[in-house]
Amino acid sequence: MASVVSKNKEQLDGAISAFPSGHLMVVVGFQNVCGTEYIVVNDPAANSDEEVRKMYNLDQWVKVWRHYIYLIKNEE
């Protein structure tokens, strides 16, 4: 999981809303589309289960990322 903060939703194209107090997203991968890099996340702010998987422009996402990552590991 990674933490992001945005003052307005225009900072991250496709964001549901601004997250001035912070917001956690689950990073599931990266994708290159026509030369543009995207981060693929599961965003719990989505309006429905079908909209949870989102792709955000990586350059924009890095600007709102708080540089916090939470690693969840199953210790068996």
Tens of each residue's pLDDT in the chain, 76 residues = 889 989 988 899 988 889 999 899 999 999 999 999 999 999 998 999 999 999 999 999 999 999 888 988 888 7
Question: pTM (2 decimals)?
Answer: 0.85
* Of 75, 66, 76, residue with least CA distance to 24: 66
Confirm whether 13 is domain-assigned: yes
Domain presence at residue 51: yes
Q: What is the domain extent for residue 64?
A: 2-69
- The angle subtended at Cα 24 by Cα 43 and Cα 41, nearest 5°, is 35
Number of domains in the chain: 1
